[in-house]
Amino acid sequence: MRVLITGAAGQLGHDLVDVLSGEELHAFDHEGLDVANAAAVRQTVERVRPQVIVNAAAFNDVDGAEKNETAAFAANAAGPAALAAVAASVGARLIHISTDYVFDGRKGSPYDENDRPNPLSVYAKSKYEGEQAVLRSDPSTCVLRTAWLYGRQGKNFVKAIQAAATRGGPLRVVADQVGSPTATADLATAIVELIRTPAAGLYHVVNAGACSRFEFARAIVGDGVEVVPITTAEAARPAPRPQNSSLVSIRWASTGIAPLRSWQAALESYLIA
């Protein structure tokens, strides 16, 4: 299968390259293909003529997006729209990665695919616009909302907590934000399985269960370092965050693919590897 991956140098892209190594793979990092460059996107896709495109590229700096709205919307909204348009023109199936942050977190329980988004931040609004463009483009497209990703490549919460722990505690971690931590290795494997099905539309794909940032941090460091709960207000980050953006799926079972394992099991595998 001829597969084109954008964002191949990121944490999810890196794992996708690993699990798709047996296919005819065309993997592009940001330098190789900037999805915000519509002309380059069209030229590359028309040259490669992939059967499947996985868009793992994004402007992921949630706080930075507040001051770089143009760049965030170029990468997260216009970029996916351009990919979707050219994918449809060459008959390629597009699988686009979106985020739990499209929700405002006020529901008080996990969100499923039928819940109505209400993005709060510039980052979240740009991601929501991107996923809507993809879903409108062609009936064969897939949008996968996921959450709190961590992997071996790039920056993520797990690495940040581990690095802070090596410098000594106590660690001050937000306790009033709840989500679904998800290992990129598990998500990448699920995407490969999805490629081999005719599934289309919107799916939530996360490791099962939910926890607060504080609980996640405690699971990462164990008893070695003290972790102190703080509030979102005390953290004083520039971009608003949803209070509870944990995800569940009412559609994933229809693909015939097994749900992802628990976030605790995934984290344990990551920490001992």
* CB contact set of 85 (below 8 Å; sequence gap of 6+): 42, 137
Query: Helices (H), strands (E): how many in the chain?
Result: 10, 12
In angstroms, rounded to a whole number, what is the distance separating the alpha carbons of residues 261 and 36? 34
The active-site residue out of 101, 123, 150, 203 is 123
Q: Is 150 a catalytic residue?
A: no
* CB contact set of 194 (below 8 Å; sequence gap of 6+): 95, 142, 144, 255, 257
- Looking at residue 192, its amino acid is V
Residue 153 near residue 14, CB atoms below 8 Å: yes
In angstroms, rounded to a whole number, what is the distance separating the alpha carbons of residues 108 and 103? 11
Q: Which residues are catalytic?
A: 123
